[in-house]
Structure 1
């Protein structure tokens, strides 16, 4: 198993995350195969993908508008979803955990390397959600 912390992915993980706030797993295959794997892993857990954010396309589309010609990712998507059971559990424990919902798993290709990952969540009740994110990322990446 290869576990890599990749600071650049914080662009799609959101917030002000740093390298130690993101977990990624290398994927031995194409970006399309990785996105299929992530969606399948989410659905396989009885969850529904609410939205797929095409962050890579947005960055490409808006680069010139913000004065940049840098290509950050060849492709990057974030899969957003929720678990009614886990969300209720963590928000009953602390309603401010709403800040972490919906949950996201991302797929990014950079420099010919495809990775699947997620943002690390806070200690306490959110660790159960993090375990779910990790199981999805591991399953999708074949780890």
Structure 2
């Protein structure tokens, strides 16, 4: 019995990192962080969408590292662009009003030691794949 519980615990523990890898899609960006943020902003606004907020996650993490007892630099810079699409949001919330939990949507730009990336979180199967498709289109346009 103990061996079965130990085996289950090991398997369950190994499943967590695999699930964590499926939480986001990211693409390498050939260029500077500033160029990537401009490209993402342009791709969002170019679709007639309004950026509600830009979260400067990298600045916050760097500013508060010592306060939480860390000296690890996770990102040189990192921003998340938050926005909604009235058309897409209505479609996914008409399919399931609880999809409100996923709004607003975000596209991130991050620089980790000179490696710039653009990405977004993944969404569940079903109606939310329309949002994921929109985010992927935005990321692909920004990479061009």
Q: TM-score, normalization: structure 2?
A: 0.85
Cα distance in 2, alignment partners of residues 115 and 56 from structure 1 = 13
Shift of 1:92: 1.1
Shift of 1:48: 0.6
Cα deviation 1:87-140 (Å, max 9, x = unaligned): 111111101101110000000000210000000111101111110000001111
Alignment of 1:1-143 (within 5 A): 18-142=20-144
Shift of 1:19: 1.1
- Secondary structure (helix, strand or coil) at the match of 1:18 reads helix
Q: TM-score, normalization: structure 1?
A: 0.86
Shift of 1:35: 0.1
RMSD over equivalenced CA pairs, Å = 0.9
Runs of 4+ in 1 over 6 A off after TM superposition: none
Whichever structure has more helix as a proportion of its residues is 2
- Which structure: larger Rg? 2
Structure 2 unaligned blocks of 5 or more: 1-18
- Secondary structure (helix, strand or coil) at the match of 1:52 reads strand
